[in-house]
Structure 1
Amino acid sequence: MTATLSLGTAQRQTQTISPRLQQAVRLLQMSSLEFSAMVEDQLGQNPFLEEDPDAEARSAPAQAETTPVEDRELWRMERSGASQRADDSQVSAMELMPERSSLQDHLHGQISVMNLSERDRVLAAIVIEALDPDGYLRIALDELAVFDGLLPAPEPVELRIALKRVQALDPPGVGARSVCECLQLQLPAIECPETRALATAIVQEHLSLLAQRNIAALARALHADPFRVDAACKRLRMLDPRPGWRFESSLPPYVVPDVLTQRIRGQWRATLNPAVMPRVRFNQVYADLFRRHRNRADAEMASSLQEARWTVRNVEQRFSTILDVADAIVRRQQHFLEFGAMAMKPMGLREIAQELGVHESTVSRVTSNKYIATPAGVFELKYFFSRALVSRSGSACSGTAIRGLVKEMIDAEPSGQPLSDAEIARRLSAQGLTVARRTVTKYRQALHIDAIERRRAG
């Protein structure tokens, strides 16, 4: 049997994306702050671009409640300040702000100065990266063992040792897998041996009575003096059940909406926010001069001319697309604008994409990092998309509406008697909405509402 080589040609159609289109897609996905910084940079470099003093007047919607002038000026100062440095004799406000490190950064810094082998350091890093923002490890150690970047694969005993190393770091209580373990890790900080012994017994055996602040029952269960038990409980309440939260930034997010909502003749409509639109236009005078006097040595200027045309066109296209998508969302969510989250209709990306004749990925990019101001607050456009959950009656309900119901139930719970996630799921089921307990937990966490233990203790 002999092998032969042959050459042949075949026609095949493939779809490629030009560099220009790739850049357009990237710019569409940018937030308004990033996009404005890019346009400001182009405005400073390209002679065929100039600031358009009339852009805001043309874009301002009639009868719209726009951002106050003072806010718009602050927004422009913030936007331009991102690309400017203070003089050597000046110190900017941003430079005076303290830099906050994350919980993971804080823990990695401690591990890096410990005398560990490279393998032990990597194992500790695996545990650190698996921690939730509140400092808890909610992933089983055997799940961490599937980390495929370490050979040979870590043994269970190695991961337990790595966890103990992390639990010995600052802040005390980090790396705990339960509230009980978190408090136990902090018990050595109690100096009085007797108080520490009582506190240990309370945490290990009577945590529910501690949450209920039932000193008499604790004293009976521990056969101890009520005053000493009360002192131990007060000391326990000084411990931190969520040690990771102290590393979360206390600075509120600064969001300027890309789109505003206004009511026109009984219908809610979307309009662009003039405060976030770059004031840039094509400099036709310079372009005409260049065309009359150009020569072969002006290749760089010709490139700048083409870039300027593309920049202006992309600004127009970007905001036109954002407005089209936002307006389509607003038309479908009239009830949300009238009555709030519980009136949110289920809606998918495909629904908007089909109406506008674009790809779903385009809608996804447009709705990322873009915000809309509504009577209920400022929301990311992605907030309005949720799959339909069908009730026992056959009607569809959005996940956002159910989150609203969860929040309403928690807001109405009696003082000192918070509802568990399981109880909330049962009450939703009684209303015809079959929602799993873990789904209720996910919605509660998305609403930044504490678990039942913390709400009861608070």
Structure 2
Amino acid sequence: MWRSRLSCSSPSVCCNCPHWSCTKKSSRCSRATPSWSWKKTARRPGRCHSTAPAKPPRPRPPQTPTPQGSDGFEGPDALSEVAASDFGSTERDDWENGTERDDFDGIRELPSTSASGSNAAGDDDDFDPQERRRSALSLSDHLREQLPGLRLSAGDAAAVHVLIESLNEDGYLTDSLEDIAEPLMAGMDDEEDRDELMSRLRCALLWLQRLDPLGVGARSLSECLSLQLRAQAPSPAREVALCICQDHLELLAKRDIKKLMSATGADEEVLRQAQTLIVACEPKPGRPFADAESHIIVPDVIVQRSGRALKVTLNPDVMPKLRINDLYAAALRGGKQGGGSGLSTRLQEARWFMKNIQQRFDTILRVSKAIVERQKAFFTHGEIAMKPLVLREIADELGLHESTISRVTTAKYMATPGGTYELKYFFGSSLSTEAGGNASSTAVRALIKQMIGAEDPAKPLSDSTLSHMLEEQGIQVARRTVAKYRESLKIAPANLRKAL
């Protein structure tokens, strides 16, 4: 509860508020103690009150460097465990028919600790331990690490901590302060206490929005961009950019130059400079930290070039090192006259389990080799040379059930000279061509991306134009299909790609 975390015996203390409405004449209010209370005092809600009328402290600079270390408000690190499943009897037919349980999928989530992985990191001249540490932090961890540098009281830091926990993955505060305060007000009957809590949260929001990355804690795209622009040096272009972000983002999205010039009173040159400033801002401050929330991908299969051929091997880091203890196995064999039939059954089940695990990886390798053989052109020319491929083709070639191929290619990854891909990536639907052949949907997406990348920014290609261009190359694709592929590539429509 808010009361239990933030209350103390101190009857009064300044809320350390960065707001301009502070009753102190200094640039910021002073602190008397690092704690605060909900006890009633003769003060007006929403105001800062100081118990120390001494000379105010020197104002702090607006930018606070990120301190090293952790703060007192960060909870213990969560420890993730892979729960071991109960293994019963398994049969060889389960694997062939695609009905076996996949009990080792969690293995690929563990980072590689092999010597080869360590050497690879050590040979990288650009390896930066600090940058790697930063990229491994989540957004909330990164924000918490900065709290000690603000030198906030315990109550203020806890209020900022509550807002940090309310941020979404993009760094936005999607819930209103009233909604955030509602569960914290449970049991608060005094109206003054409620006003005090809201005042705390409003002050905490201002502190949060001063942290790195700039724009964090914004409640809208307009506010996010404005926070980043205000941190830049004053200039006519910045003022126009602020005006656009606050009132005319829709006109900017439509690339309506005339209306923007009329609304802002700026000439075309200043307007272009303002657009450059806006484009340089990060619309999603939490995006650089998104990778920290995802699992580390360790490939199951490695593809390497060996002359003109491609060599496909299993990654030894994902293969469990399982063996049966010879001492216990010998003891079971020597004690058959006793009542050890139950243990003998468990020993046989362990042997079946190890055999099925080995067969599982053998199947992954066979499927991977079949994929590489069918998609040789991809490894030479890239996505644009991808061929249409369906699960049934590989299943028929290897004599396996189609569901087995589906499971083997899901959440299994292949490291190639051009990057790491999920095995399912190499499968895709086909589109007919004028020559009577088929084109892979992946290749068509790559072709659309290539066409858009080469377009004139002043005259971007519409979906209809792209459809006609593909038809000229012998690929029949409807306009709606082009739009679907474009959206899957996260490419904006033509009217939003047009340059000012």
Category of TM-score, reference length = shorter chain: 0.5 to 0.7
> 1:20 corresponds to which residue?
90
Whichever residue aligns with residue 345 of structure 1, its letter is K
User: In structure 1, what is the Cα distance between the partners aligned to 2:454 and 2:278?
Assistant: 26
The 8 Å contact of residues 209 and 218 in structure 1, kept in 2 or not, is answered as no
> 2:219 corresponds to which residue?
172
Residue 371 and residue 407 in structure 1: after superposition, are their counterparts in 2 closer, same or farther (change >3 A)?
A: same
> 2:117 corresponds to which residue?
71
Residue 104 and residue 390 in structure 1: after superposition, are their counterparts in 2 closer, same or farther (change >3 A)?
A: farther
TM-superposition CA deviations, 1:270-328 (whole Å, max 9, x none): 22222322222333443122210356554664354234213311221111110111111
> 1:254 corresponds to which residue?
296
The 8 Å contact of residues 322 and 354 in structure 2, kept in 1 or not, is answered as yes
| Equivalent residues in 2 for 1:47-446, closer than 5 Å | 69-71=115-117, 97-98=137-138, 100=140, 102=169, 107=174, 113=180, 171-173=218-220, 183=222, 202-203=248-249, 207-209=253-255, 214=257, 217-218=258-259, 221-222=262-263, 224=265, 226=267, 230=271, 233=274, 237=278, 242-243=283-284, 246=287, 249-251=290-292, 254-263=296-305, 266-294=308-336, 296-298=338-340, 301-302=343-344, 304-414=346-456, 418-446=460-488
> 2:124 corresponds to which residue?
none
Residue 438 and residue 28 in structure 1: after superposition, are their counterparts in 2 closer, same or farther (change >3 A)?
A: farther
Residue 72 of structure 1 and its aligned partner are, at CA, apart by 6.7
User: In structure 2, what is the Cα distance between the partners aligned to 1:249 and 1:451?
Assistant: 25
Whichever residue aligns with residue 335 of structure 1, its letter is A
User: In structure 1, what is the Cα distance between the partners aligned to 2:264 and 2:329?
Assistant: 91
User: In structure 1, what is the Cα distance between the partners aligned to 2:380 and 2:301?
Assistant: 17
The 8 Å contact of residues 430 and 440 in structure 2, kept in 1 or not, is answered as yes
Residue 315 and residue 112 in structure 1: after superposition, are their counterparts in 2 closer, same or farther (change >3 A)?
A: farther
Residue 297 and residue 115 in structure 1: after superposition, are their counterparts in 2 closer, same or farther (change >3 A)?
A: same
The alignment partner of 1:397 has SS state of strand
User: In structure 2, what is the Cα distance between the partners aligned to 1:195 and 1:398?
Assistant: 43
Residue 363 of structure 1 and its aligned partner are, at CA, apart by 0.4
User: In structure 2, what is the Cα distance between the partners aligned to 1:249 and 1:365?
Assistant: 27
Whichever residue aligns with residue 208 of structure 1, its letter is K
The alignment partner of 1:27 has SS state of coil
> 2:201 corresponds to which residue?
none
Residue 239 and residue 326 in structure 1: after superposition, are their counterparts in 2 closer, same or farther (change >3 A)?
A: closer
> 2:108 corresponds to which residue?
33
The alignment partner of 2:102 has SS state of helix
Residue 295 and residue 200 in structure 1: after superposition, are their counterparts in 2 closer, same or farther (change >3 A)?
A: same
Residue 102 and residue 183 in structure 1: after superposition, are their counterparts in 2 closer, same or farther (change >3 A)?
A: closer
In structure 2, stretches of 5+ residues that fail to align are 1-87, 122-132, 141-167, 184-216, 231-237
Residue 367 of structure 1 and its aligned partner are, at CA, apart by 0.2
Whichever residue aligns with residue 361 of structure 2, its letter is F
User: In structure 1, what is the Cα distance between the partners aligned to 2:372 and 2:427?
Assistant: 12
The 8 Å contact of residues 261 and 271 in structure 2, kept in 1 or not, is answered as no
User: How does the TM-score come out when normalised to structure 2?
Assistant: 0.52
Residue 361 and residue 229 in structure 1: after superposition, are their counterparts in 2 closer, same or farther (change >3 A)?
A: same
Residue 188 and residue 455 in structure 1: after superposition, are their counterparts in 2 closer, same or farther (change >3 A)?
A: same
User: In structure 1, what is the Cα distance between the partners aligned to 2:223 and 2:435?
Assistant: 48
In structure 1, stretches of 5+ residues that fail to align are 1-17, 38-66, 76-92, 117-169, 174-181
Residue 448 and residue 269 in structure 1: after superposition, are their counterparts in 2 closer, same or farther (change >3 A)?
A: farther
The 8 Å contact of residues 322 and 366 in structure 1, kept in 2 or not, is answered as yes
The alignment partner of 2:476 has SS state of coil
The alignment partner of 1:316 has SS state of helix
Residue 416 and residue 188 in structure 1: after superposition, are their counterparts in 2 closer, same or farther (change >3 A)?
A: same
Residue 364 of structure 1 and its aligned partner are, at CA, apart by 0.5
The alignment partner of 1:26 has SS state of coil
Residue 189 and residue 278 in structure 1: after superposition, are their counterparts in 2 closer, same or farther (change >3 A)?
A: closer
**Runs of 4 or more above 6 Å deviation:** 72-75, 108-111, 184-201, 238-241
Whichever residue aligns with residue 378 of structure 1, its letter is T
User: In structure 1, what is the Cα distance between the partners aligned to 2:247 and 2:169?
Assistant: 33
TM-superposition CA deviations, 1:20-39 (whole Å, max 9, x none): 367972217826426x89xx
User: In structure 1, what is the Cα distance between the partners aligned to 2:296 and 2:454?
Assistant: 30
> 1:13 corresponds to which residue?
none
Residue 395 of structure 1 and its aligned partner are, at CA, apart by 1.7
User: In structure 2, what is the Cα distance between the partners aligned to 1:72 and 1:241?
Assistant: 34
The 8 Å contact of residues 256 and 371 in structure 1, kept in 2 or not, is answered as yes
The 8 Å contact of residues 302 and 313 in structure 2, kept in 1 or not, is answered as yes
Residue 334 of structure 1 and its aligned partner are, at CA, apart by 1.6
The 8 Å contact of residues 90 and 353 in structure 2, kept in 1 or not, is answered as no
**Higher helix proportion (structure 1 or 2):** 1
The 8 Å contact of residues 261 and 268 in structure 2, kept in 1 or not, is answered as no
> Equivalent pairs: percent with the same residue?
33
The 8 Å contact of residues 169 and 286 in structure 2, kept in 1 or not, is answered as no
Q: Which moved more, 1:260-269 or 1:354-363?
A: 260-269
TM-superposition CA deviations, 1:142-189 (whole Å, max 9, x none): xxxxxxxxxxxxxxxxxxxxxxxxxxxx6433xxxxxxxx65998999
The 8 Å contact of residues 409 and 422 in structure 2, kept in 1 or not, is answered as yes
The 8 Å contact of residues 384 and 446 in structure 2, kept in 1 or not, is answered as yes
Residue 356 of structure 1 and its aligned partner are, at CA, apart by 1.5
